[in-house]
Each structure stands twice: as structure tokens, then as C-alpha cells.
Structure 1
């Protein structure tokens, strides 16, 4: 297919197609979505864009996980302390990153931007299924301001109710008492040909590939999920907490 033919198929001029292919103009998401549609590529160009955005700006130790996250079809994420990064609002993410007091403003802005760009994988035409388990304390811990917390809670509800069943959030209530999740956060990512895990530490992330290590975390995940509320009850609790932040 010539550049002119492709341009006609996606409603762009042949010169615009040429500029993108020669590296003179960066492709927009709309452009790549149109190309995927015209060529029947199954969203491959959109996935490439999601993987490349801000990749060079991410810490070296985190880049391997960005690749895994991009290729996953199922992400299971447990967080006892903060809202999972893929579900954070920009204001909440900024408050979390800035609140540590360990970065200058330029690095804070860059980290927030990278986090927001990562969330694009939930918007692509073939998003992974994301199942998030969060401790009730996450919803009640003040991050930034009451309005930021109210918006964050409402965002969680919106993501679940408007995700076409690709996003699920379950809350472990305070009434659960001691449970398997108190050992710390972790993420399980499963793709067509892999299943791996991510552990976060104050120093850097640790990625686990060994089958026995991943299986151990899967068992822990199932134990935590057994303590979590069903979807409807979780959403009701999140809405209740959102109202408490508004008063």
C-alpha cells in the first residue's frame, strides 16, 4: 500500500503519512488508531505507543516491568497503603510522589506524567483485565486534601462502573483484622506466555519469575481476596468514604 493509499484509508494526506514514517512528525494516538483500523492489525500500533510513551523517562529498574505490564492480559494488584498507580487521579499521584519529599519539582512532574501515561493501557482497544484489592485504610488515609480524596474515591467508582468489566476493585474492610495482606503490596501479571510478579521496596522494584515464587504470591492473593468485599459492597463502601471526605 502506498503512502497515498494509506492516507486515503485513514483520512490523512499522503504527505502526513510520509512525515510520520520518516520521523519528521510524531504519530498521535488518533493517527495510530486509524492505521490499526485500516490495516486490521489488532491494535498493535496503539500498544506500541502505550509502551513507548515516557519509557526513556522511567527509572532503569522499572522499565522491565513496564514491558510486562504492557503485554499482560490480566493484572492482579494488592495495595494496603495507597491506591494502585493505574487507578490514581493526577492530583492524588502528585500528592503521593511529592509528599515523600525526596524529589525536586521537575522529577515529581515527570514521575506524575509517566504514571498518567501508563494508565493509557486501560483505554486501548484490547485492555488487560485489572483486579485491584485495596485495604479500607487506603480510602481513609488523607493524601493531599479532603477534596483530592473525595475525587479519588469517586474515580475508583467511575473506573469500575464504566470499564466494560475490565476494571474491578474490591475493598478489604477494617473489620477483617489481621490478614495475609499485611505483609505488603504486590502485583501479579499474566500474559499469553508468562506469569510474573512485582514487589515494591523503598530501594527499587523486584520482579519475580520463578514459578514457585509466583505460586506463593498467588496463594497469598487468594487469601486476601477471600477477606475482601464483593463488588457491590466494595462500591458502596467507597461511595460512603467519598461522602465522608466531602463533609
Structure 2
């Protein structure tokens, strides 16, 4: 995936070139100086919302540059290592997600997300940036063409308390149930009495795209790995099938989640 900022600057330059305008002529069309246009195109000045609104208005681009800025803002809240994966999430048609320790980030409330990041691994500023990024990523589930999200979680996640946070789990279960009952979201639970199974090796996600391409994500305490290597994808796909077969069907999983939710209210 390319850098989103560079992509937007390339598109601005291509637009001006397609219109056969000098920087001075382009600037006059959007009421900015030629030096300002030059500074934006070379990355010396950020393309602000006002600047991009003027471009969209002057050239009838349908708001595309403002939308690019919104996406960029979401990415800028994310850690550098996560930005490539966020691009994958936004473009994927299907996400197959296994979680061992926490609920998936796309299904977390703000308080739950903050709790998963607390404990000393991150600074206070890093926690706030990561929480903002995680919540912004959830917008893909509410758009007109959301990806199909298929989640398998270890049953222990449902009963693990967040200490000194009254009401947090009840709030989280309300969101989890609402999401799980959406047409484009499936949540499956591996029962706690399953014993040892292949998923205990750790979390992973497989993203699929319209062209059939697949990208996988896995992380640990130190780093995250994103791979398109066919051998790695094939191994994770086999693991997914094995883990998925250990989980309850969708309807039974929702019933289990609702039963556990009663214990948190």
C-alpha cells in the first residue's frame, strides 16, 4: 500500500496537469497564491480542509479530496506500523478475524479499547491516539458497503473482568450483541471447555479483496506482521478453518453471549 499523503499530493498535481494549468493559474482558480500551490504540491505545506474544499469546488471533483483528507486524518492517529493494515481494512470485502485475548478492535467500546491499552505498555498520549484510531476504524462497519466481518473469539474473553471499571463490560456486551446481530457481522465463540486447540498460538486476521488477493495480519507484544506471502496465507487459512470448526455456530454463539451478558448487568 502506498503512502496516503503522497497519493493525495500526486492526485493534486495530476489534476492541475490534466487541466493544463500553471501553478499560478491553478491558484487563481481556487483563490490561493502560486507559492501556496507549490508548497502544497511539494509537501512543504499541508493541504488543509479549506484548500481541498476550494479544489473540489473549483474543479467539480465531487468532494474526493476532502474525503482523502478525512482518511488521512484517521491514519495519522494510528501508529506507523498499523497504517498499512488500516488501508487493508478499508479496502477489504471480507475480514476473517481470530482473537484469543481481547474482543476485536472493530467491536470495542471506547472504555474497553482504553482498558486493553492500559497497564504500562503505552504512554498516556499513545493510548489516546490508539483509542481514537481504533474507534475511527469502526466506521467501515457502518458504511453503505461494509466488509463481511467473520469473528472467532476464545470464550475466555467473555468472562475476563476489567478491574475497577464498573459497568464497562455491560456496556461492551451491549455493543457486541448489536454488532453480532448485524447482517454483515458474524461472531463465533470457542467454548471455554474446548481444551487445547490451534488458536492458542495467537491472534490473526485474513483480509480478502475483490480481486481475490489476500493479506494477513498477526501481532505480538513486540511488533505486528503483515504478509501477502502465499505460503503464510495458506497456513493461516488452514488454521482459520480448524479454529472456526472449534467454535459454536453463529446463533448459538449469540445466545451464549447474551447469557454471559446477564452476569455483567
**What residue in structure 2 maps to residue 14 of structure 1?**
none
CA contact (8 A) 1:47 1:124 kept: no
**Which 5+ residue runs of structure 1 have no aligned equivalent?**
1-17, 28-34
* SS of 2:77 mapped into structure 1: coil
Instruction: Give the equivalent residue in structure 2 for 1:134.
Output: 153
Runs of 4+ in 1 over 6 A off after TM superposition: 44-47
1:107 to 126, 132, 153: 126
1:238 aligns with 2:257: yes
Q: Give the structure with higher Rg (CA).
A: 2
How far apart are 1:203 and its partner, in Å?
1.5
| Residues 1:73 and 2:93 aligned together | yes
Q: Deviations over 1:19-75 (max 9, x none)?
A: 9x9841777xxxxxxx99xx6x9xx78974663232123222211111111110000
Q: Which secondary structure does the structure 2 equivalent of 1:132 belong to?
A: strand
Tell me the secondary structure at the aligned position of residue 76 of structure 2. coil
Q: Would you say the 8 A contact 1:55–1:63 is kept in 2?
A: yes
| C-alpha distance in 1 between matches for 2:248 and 2:220 | 27
CA contact under 8 A between 1:170 and 1:234: conserved in structure 2? yes
- Displacement of 1:177: 1.2
1:181 to partner: Cα distance = 0.5
Instruction: Give me the whole-angstrom Cα distance separating, in 2, the residues matched to 1:24 and 1:67.
Output: 25
Equivalent position SS for 2:50? coil
Deviation per CA, 1:182-241: give whole Å up to 9, x if none: 111100000123201001111121011111110110110010110111111111111111
Q: CA RMSD in A?
A: 2.6
Counterpart secondary structure, 2:179? helix
Q: How many angstroms does 1:171 deviate by? A: 0.5
Structure 1: distance between partners of 2:70 and 2:98: 23
Using the size of structure 2 for normalisation, the TM-score is 0.73
**2:216 is the counterpart of 1:197:** yes
Contact 2:79 2:130 (8 Å CA) reproduced:
no
* TM-score (structure 1 length as normaliser): 0.78
**Residue-pair matches, total:** 214
- Whether 2:83 is the aligned partner of 1:58: answer no
Q: Is the 8 A contact 1:81 1:138 kept in 2?
A: yes
| Greater relative contact order, per chain length (Cα 8 Å cut-off, separation 6+) | 1
Q: Distance in 2 between matches of 1:50 and 1:173?
A: 40
Aligned to 1:182: 200
Given that 1:51 and 1:66 are in contact with CA atoms closer than 8 Å, whether structure 2 keeps it comes out as no
